[in-house]
Amino acid sequence: MKKLFAFLFLLFFAVTVFAQERTLSTYNLPEALTYYKYTGVAADTLMYGTQDTIDIPIFVNKEYPVQYYAKFNVDTIGDNDFKLKVAVLGKVFEDESWSAIAADSTAVTDNGTDVVVYSKANPSYSLAADSTITQTYGSHYYRYLLFRLIVNSSTTPGDGFTLNDMELKLFNRQY
């Protein structure tokens, strides 16, 4: 019996030590809506050494390419200055792997600070020697977006962030 309790304790300990990422359920944005607001819960706390990542996946559900503007309102825990990274990933089909859309945006935050990420996909044009113009787009069409909040690894254990809310606005991307 002692061996069973020891095994269960070690199993519980291993799960809690390695469970440092929280992934929310994928939110299916209704086709007619372009605005989403998520209100944080007690589990939406980022602390180095316990939970250092929160993933917020969203199924965009639009028939057209979109641009996004996402705002995260966070409060700090503790008194150290440290940073919060927000990475944006995307994919087209449910069974694909996530690919990075935007480089990590980093912000030093204080209590009640908003961290904002938005798409910066504008077309670029190049003029060839034969006077032909080539247009290149900076982003692709993604049906799924993933917003990954990551606390900086140089943070002191016990300090971190609490996610109060997240707001997302989608725009029809037209060039």
Residue 3 lies in a domain: no
> CA 149 to CA 162: how far, in whole Å?
11
Cβ proximity of 55 and 21 under 8 Å:
yes
| pTM for this predicted structure | 0.73
> CA 58 to CA 167: how far, in whole Å?
12
In tens, the pLDDT along 59-111 reads 998 888 888 888 888 887 776 656 778 888 988 888 999 988 876 666 555 55
How much is the pLDDT for 51?
83
Model confidence band, residue 131 (pLDDT cutoffs 50, 70, 90): low
Cβ proximity of 119 and 139 under 8 Å:
yes
Residue 79 lies in a domain: yes
Task: Assign residue 98 the CATH number of its domain.
Answer: 2.60.120
The total number of structural domains that make up the chain: 1
Say whether pLDDT at 15 is over 50: no
Helix (H, G, I), strand (E, B) or coil at 59: strand
How much is the pLDDT for 72?
87
> CA 90 to CA 166: how far, in whole Å?
18
Model confidence band, residue 133 (pLDDT cutoffs 50, 70, 90): low
Residue with tokens 């019996």: 1
Beta strands in the chain (DSSP E): 21-23, 27-28, 35-39, 45-47, 53-59, 66-77, 83-91, 99-108, 113-118, 124-127, 133-136, 144-151, 160-172
> CA 45 to CA 51: how far, in whole Å?
7
Per the document, the length of the chain is: 175
In tens, the pLDDT along 19-65 reads 477 777 788 788 888 899 999 898 888 877 778 888 999 999 888 88
- Residue 115 belongs to domain spanning: 20-172
Residue 9 lies in a domain: no
Say whether pLDDT at 16 is over 60: no
Residue 11 lies in a domain: no
Residue 39 lies in a domain: yes
